[in-house]
Structures are given as structure tokens and as C-alpha cells.
Structure 1
């Protein structure tokens, strides 16, 4: 065999191996679309589109599916849905734990964002209810009436999030015997539109505020300080100030998790590693939400800008 022939054979062998490796890499993840769930608040739409675009950069097919925040677990258990990018410790822990206990849903780890959701009031309301932020101040009929509206007087009005968000605010009011009526906003946008209107008029308002979000930075105010959450508060009525009822405490604080169908790791192993690696912090998310909700940019524009500015972060997530 001549030297030239040997080089050709070795070259062909190396080419074949390269093609085989490429074929293997290409076949690593299924061509079926990875179904990412969309919910009804801006930050979640941003997180999900960021993940979707990164997965597409890796060659995956992606499909976005509108889904209920808590009811989505039925679809995640069956594999009809694949990935939910935000499950908040504050509101979704029980549903997430129940789903992961089946073995059909997996916790893909933290997003890097820390969740806080609680009753919030503007600073200008403090003079009308000087015991705040201590929750016991809300039991004073005069304080409750300061937060009332024509539809709730003499009870105070608490504007909760959409009912699909969970949060146990109706149960909290009853367990802590608060003279407040819970009114649920229809949408995330309606919640913050009402805050904007009240703040401009210096009108009374007590509502659900969450972080990461632009609202706690834009408006001066405080979160109510309820008895600190423990799992026993939600699960054991004997715990806390009300011996007969659960939920006599505040909401939990903590991680925002990524969760999904347990079959993702086998069907899309590359995507699975990228989803687990995904991380972003509260400040980054707050800035992007501000760009969308206050500065008129689209989710598409904001996520494209983040992708372009952060190649050094997300490329390693997909092995590039």
C-alpha cells in the first residue's frame, strides 16, 4: 500500500468517524418539539422564551403552550407538557412536591431567582395604619376601614392575584381573623394597573406584590410582616395562633424552580442539561420586566437583546 493510499484510507476513516459522531450528536435529542408552558405574568414569559431560544440555538424544536400555573402538573406528569420554567416556592411548592412524588415530574433545579410574594401597601398608607408592617395592625377596625372601598366597607380590601396563582390568601384572612375581603385581579396587568392608579391618586390599596418585579423598585412601600412561614403552618392546623386552622402565617420565601416531565432527560438529554444549567438573577429579570411593562418593548425584543449580550453565559449550557 502506497503512502498516498494510506493517507486516503486514514482520511476516509477519520471522515467516517466524524460523520458518525455528527450523526450521533444530531440524533442525541429527539426531533419532536419540547413543549414549554406559558403563564400569565411577564417574567415567566421572558424566562420561558429565553430558554426556548437557547434550546433552538442547540438545534431543538420548541413549542410554547399556554397552561394554568398549578393545573399544568397534570400535563407534565403525562408528558403532554415538558418544561415549566417558573414554579415559585411561595405559591407552588405543595403542587410541585405532589407531582415530583409521583416520579413522573422532575425538579430541574433553581432558576437563580429568589421569590418573594406577600401583601404590600404604599408608604403613604402607613400614617393611617401606624402599626404596620406588623400584621396585627390589620386587625384594628380603623386600619381595615382605611384600606376599604365602597364594595368592601367597613372591611379592608385586599387585591389578590388571579385565582390560578394560588397563595391561600382567602384561607389566610380567615385563619388570622382579618377584617379584610379578598378581591382577585383578573390578570397580572390588571393587578399593576390598579396599583398605578391608586398610587397616582394616593388612594388606599393593599395588594399582592411579587419580586422579582419592577413594582417594589418603582413604588415606595412595604410588605406586611405575617408570622413566618413553616411547612407546619400549611399542613398542621394546631400550629400557630389559630389552633383550628392552617395558613395562619405568611407566604414562604425562597427559590423559583424549573420543573418538567421526568422523560425529558431521556428524550432530549442535551436540552435537559441546558435546562438544568439555566440561571438568571433577580436584578436581570427585574430590568427585563421593566423594559416590557414600563418601556413598551416586546418580550421578543428583550429576550433577543439578552441572548445577544450573554453568549458567553448560555453557549456553555448547550455545549458550545
Structure 2
């Protein structure tokens, strides 16, 4: 009987140990029954990055919600915790609220997404015949180039196709800084930007526009990147440089969801892979979740280190 009691005691000890390990794992996940709310921004690249992060967070054991958010308004949501995280923040276009709430420690920058980026002014390559001297920016100031780009709404200025108004942009400031005879006209949406680029290419109609990469449209249209004018003043509003892309979380994120925090710090996005998925969604009309799931299913070696980081 004494031996039986010893075995019982050992069994109880083992059960307690297993329970403790389970509790430790639960504690590491944190508030796993409360959804992590990820910001879904306007552009497809951000949709891809966010859905990959979301599907992998679900694999770890979390609930995830996707919340449509504007590029500037998202920072209010991150500051008050109504949004949990945003995984693709282009730091060249964050408005005035981002530095304010970052300084107040209401949000936390958890590092680079490692997305290789480009941003600036582009044109369809045939424009080099319309505006001799391109890609140098001074070619745009020549009268024949301004006239070719002029429209009834901008005459006598040329028309510069800018980002949608709610994205924010530096183009109008840079045009003014350099006394360039152009009027920046906001596009209605990302889709409108791409449609104009494709239309200009097809009809050989003059176009200069603000754009960025990675983007599927760059794989399907022959474009040049303008060598930008010099910065009149150093600063975000007056210069365009390849932007850093970071991951931002609500300040209480790490304490509430420790494993998710470790995962998002490790999470990266390859520009070439993202662009392939963007092409599948935007051009081929495939379902975003299905495209992302296919990538996740086929690329465990890429994402396993991120998930392992969450396990500690």
C-alpha cells in the first residue's frame, strides 16, 4: 500500500507539473480569448502583410479581427487601444498624429518590416519622347512638356496625378518648392491611380504621377522613375526618399498578448513575394484570404522562425 501511495503521489506531482506547464503556456499567450484587432489600410500590399500576420497569429492560438482604418486615423485607434496593431506603416507618410502619440508612449514601434520599397514620381517610358531629358526632373519644366501635360482643369499648368487626398502626399510641396508649373490633382483611389497608368500606356497619353513599389502595376507597365529635384528643406514634407516600413502596436499590446508581441517583432515581409500576391489579387481577381493561405501553406520555412519566436 505504501508503494501505491508513492505512485499516486508521483502521479499527482506529474499532473500538477503538466498543469503548471499548461498555465505557463496560457500566460504566454495572454488574453487569447480577446481578439487582436489588426488595422486594414487602403492598399493591397498592406492587406497581404496584415492577412499573413493574422493567419499566423491564429495558428499560434489567437483570435484576430481585421478593422478597416485610414492611413492617418489609424493612429488614434492604436493610441486608445481600439486597434491593436498595424503591420505596414510607411514612415514617410504618417501625418502629425504619429509622432505625437509615439512621444506620449501611447503606441510602440516594434521594428522594421524589412519591405524593400520605392517611392517617387513615375511616368510611362514613352514620355521620354514627349519630354526630352527625362528621367531628370528638369525635363518637366520645359514648355513643351508642361503643355503636353496640361488639361482644361489645370491650364496653363501641367497636371500631376497625386495620391488620394486622405493618404497625404509631399508632391504638391515639392512642386511648389521648385517653382514647377504643375497642379497636383488627387486620384480618387489606388485603383484610379493604376487605371490612369494603364490607360496612359495604352493610349500613349502624357502622364506624370506619384507612385510606390512594391506594386503589381510596376511589373506590367514600362515606367521610368524621375530623378527628383533637390530638397529645399530637409524634412518629411520636402523630400522623397525610399521609405522605411515599420510595425506599430498599441502600448499595452506586449503585456496583453506576450507571444503575439514576440511574433510581430519577428514578422517580416519580402517585397517580391508580396508583389506576386498583389498581382494575384488585384489583376487576376483571386480571393485575398485564399492567396495568403496558399502562401502560408507553401512557405513554412519562411514563417516558422516568426512563430518559434512567439514560443520563446
**Is TM-score (shorter-chain normalized) higher than 0.5?**
yes
Shift of 1:137: 1.8
Contact 2:133 2:139 in 1 (8 A): yes
Q: Find 2:269's aligned residue among 265, 268, 280.
A: 280
Which SS does the other structure have where 2:210 is aligned? strand
Map of 1:16 onto structure 2: 16
Q: Find 1:89's aligned residue among 67, 86, 91.
A: 91
Alpha-carbon distance between aligned partners in 2 of 1:267 and 1:17, rounded to the nearest angstrom: 25
Alpha-carbon distance between aligned partners in 1 of 2:176 and 2:14, rounded to the nearest angstrom: 72
The number of residue pairs the alignment matches comes to: 307
Which SS does the other structure have where 1:205 is aligned? coil
Contact 2:72 2:95 in 1 (8 A): no
Map of 2:114 onto structure 1: 112
Residue 156 of structure 1 pairs with residue 158 of structure 2: yes
Shift of 1:151: 2.5
Which SS does the other structure have where 1:54 is aligned? helix
Alpha-carbon distance between aligned partners in 2 of 1:313 and 1:53, rounded to the nearest angstrom: 14
Alpha-carbon distance between aligned partners in 1 of 2:229 and 2:151, rounded to the nearest angstrom: 26
Contact 2:117 2:244 in 1 (8 A): yes
Contact 1:139 1:177 in 2 (8 A): no
Map of 1:239 onto structure 2: none
Shift of 1:44: 0.6
RMSD of aligned alpha carbons:
2.0
Alpha-carbon distance between aligned partners in 1 of 2:121 and 2:283, rounded to the nearest angstrom: 22
Shift of 1:152: 2.1
Alpha-carbon distance between aligned partners in 2 of 1:228 and 1:89, rounded to the nearest angstrom: 20
Shift of 1:93: 7.7
Shift of 1:18: 1.0
Residue 295 of structure 1 pairs with residue 284 of structure 2: yes
Tell me the TM-score normalized by structure 2: 0.92
Alpha-carbon distance between aligned partners in 2 of 1:146 and 1:90, rounded to the nearest angstrom: 30
| Range 105-114 or range 168-177, more displaced | 168-177
Which SS does the other structure have where 1:109 is aligned? strand
Q: Find 2:244's aligned residue among 255, 273, 293.
A: 255
Which structure 2 residues correspond to residues 65-84 of structure 1 after superposition, within 5 A?
A: 65-84=67-86
Alpha-carbon distance between aligned partners in 1 of 2:247 and 2:10, rounded to the nearest angstrom: 46
Residue 233 of structure 1 pairs with residue 222 of structure 2: no
Alpha-carbon distance between aligned partners in 2 of 1:311 and 1:83, rounded to the nearest angstrom: 23
Alpha-carbon distance between aligned partners in 2 of 1:218 and 1:44, rounded to the nearest angstrom: 20
The one-character-per-residue Cα deviations of 1:25-55 (angstroms, maximum 9, x if unpaired) are 1243212111111111111111111111111
Map of 2:296 onto structure 1: 307
Which SS does the other structure have where 2:245 is aligned? strand
The one-character-per-residue Cα deviations of 1:262-289 (angstroms, maximum 9, x if unpaired) are 1101011110011111112111111111
Shift of 1:220: 1.3
The one-character-per-residue Cα deviations of 1:187-225 (angstroms, maximum 9, x if unpaired) are 111110111111111111111221011222221121111
Shift of 1:233: 1.9
- The unaligned stretches of length 5 or more in structure 1 are 236-245
Contact 2:79 2:106 in 1 (8 A): yes
Shift of 1:257: 0.8
Tell me the TM-score normalized by structure 1: 0.89
Contact 1:35 1:63 in 2 (8 A): yes
- The unaligned stretches of length 5 or more in structure 2 are none
